[in-house]
Amino acid sequence: MKKPKRTYADFPKTTPEKGKTDTMRRYEPVRPRGTTFRMIPFIAILSIILLIIGIIYFIRHSTPFQICEAFIRENQEIRAMVGDVVECDFQLPLEIDAPIGKEVRIRYSFDVKGTRGSTTVNILLLRTGEQWHILSASYRDRQGSLTHLVVNTHLSGEKKVLTPRTGTSEKVGQYLQAGHRFFKQNEFDRAIAEYTRLAEAEPGNYRAYFWRGRAYMKKNLEDQALNDFRKTIELNPHHPDAYNWLGWIYRKKNNCNEAIGCLTKSIELRPDNGWAYYNRGRCYHSLGNTQQALSDFRKSCALGYKSGCHTYESMKKP
């Protein structure tokens, strides 16, 4: 006898929950475990990175760092070696001596890169009260020897205190630092305003006029820049970069005799100034003095100034 065919209605009605079997349970998705614990190393690494970034930001915006940076960018011995300072990065860790209730000393080491080379600069600062002073500074010369830099000094009681060349007061130093900051940000009108405040507060500070002249040049205000560079030379006759800029402006004005005089003085102060030889050569060439022009182009090339090499080679061709 045949069994009756079962229909859908004959099967028991079960819900998915009631119909679970061991086989079904075996293939259930496994819930991940331990995800929070696996994130801990990542969170810790991220926290350390953010902490380091915060420390670097704090140091770079601190008063001691800004004083050191201004000193390095303005020091003539450093500039004579590396050219215009492009990068000024401090090395970690810093050496800090801060006994409770006593003076604070910080020693910085900087990697300084310029347009013509690089060096390492070490600076020791002292904090007395609310004032920071540079106690000593040194740099590595081309032979790797440690060369000490001269900073201005004054005596306080029986103790010698060395102060940076950025001015005799903290406020004056702040004008210079603010001017440099705006200059780097291409806000030349604001930079000029800060350098003007510095000149008014300290009329004998040649840096105020030199950097204001640089800002005027960025705005193509050559006459104002010319006056400021002249004032720089009046206050500091041993400033090769001011003579460079005077030579450049005079050459643009087709006053080659004045330009030659300024560039010659710059070369006397900085004999490895390939740029000055090249531009003096251009002035001699404009005046028809071909032999002297060739001599200057050859010397410029020997000092590594590529434009001098190209010009010298092209003039030698028959």
CATH label of the domain that carries residue 89: 3.10.450
CA angle 95, 156, 175 (to 5 degrees): 70
Amino acid at 20: K
What DSSP assignment string belongs to 172-226?
HHHHHHHHHHHHHTT-HHHHHHHHHHHHHH-TT-HHHHHHHHHHHHHTT-HHHHH
The answer, yes or no, to whether residue 305 has pLDDT greater than 70, is yes
The answer, yes or no, to whether residue 14 has pLDDT greater than 50, is no
CA distance 129 to 159: 15
CA distance 127 to 241: 32
Residue 36 lies in a domain: no
Under 8 Å between Cβ of 258 and 242: no
Mark whether 149 and 243 lie in a shared domain: no
Residue 285 lies in a domain: yes
The three-class DSSP label of residue 13 is coil
Please give the structure tokens belonging to residue 67. 């004083």
Q: Give the end of a domain, one of 107, 134, 162.
A: 162
| Threshold 0.75, pTM exceeds | no
CB atoms within 10 A of CB 295: 16
φ and ψ at residue 285, rounded to 5 degrees: -65, -40
Q: How does residue 105 score in pLDDT terms, banded at 50, 70 and 90?
A: confident
Q: 223-231: which pairs have CB atoms within 8 A and are 24 or more residues apart?
A: 225/249, 231/206
> The domain spanning residue 244 has which CATH number?
1.25.40.10
Q: How does residue 20 score in pLDDT terms, banded at 50, 70 and 90?
A: very low
Mark whether 158 and 244 lie in a shared domain: no
Residue 219 lies in a domain: no
Q: How does residue 45 score in pLDDT terms, banded at 50, 70 and 90?
A: confident
CA-wise closest residue to 286 among 317, 318, 311: 311
The answer, yes or no, to whether residue 21 has pLDDT greater than 80, is no
Residue 188 lies in a domain: no
Please give the structure tokens belonging to residue 83. 């050219």
Structure confidence at residue 23 (pLDDT) = 47
CB atoms within 10 A of CB 146: 10
Under 8 Å between Cβ of 178 and 66: no
Please give the structure tokens belonging to residue 174. 């702040």
φ and ψ at residue 218, rounded to 5 degrees: -65, -25
Residue 170: CA count within 13 A, CB half-sphere:
9
Say which DSSP state 168 is in. S
The answer, yes or no, to whether residue 302 has pLDDT greater than 50, is yes
CA distance 102 to 126: 11
Q: Give the end of a domain, one of 162, 184, 210.
A: 162
Domain ranges, residue 127: 60-162
Number of structural domains in the chain: 2
CA distance 278 to 285: 11
What DSSP assignment string belongs to 184-198?
HTT-HHHHHHHHHHH
Residue 287 lies in a domain: yes
Q: Give the end of a domain, one of 162, 193, 215.
A: 162
Structure confidence at residue 143 (pLDDT) = 65
CA distance 307 to 276: 12
CA distance 283 to 258: 10
* Mean per-residue pLDDT, 156-164: 36
Please give the structure tokens belonging to residue 161. 């205190």
CB atoms within 10 A of CB 80: 17
Mark whether 156 and 247 lie in a shared domain: no
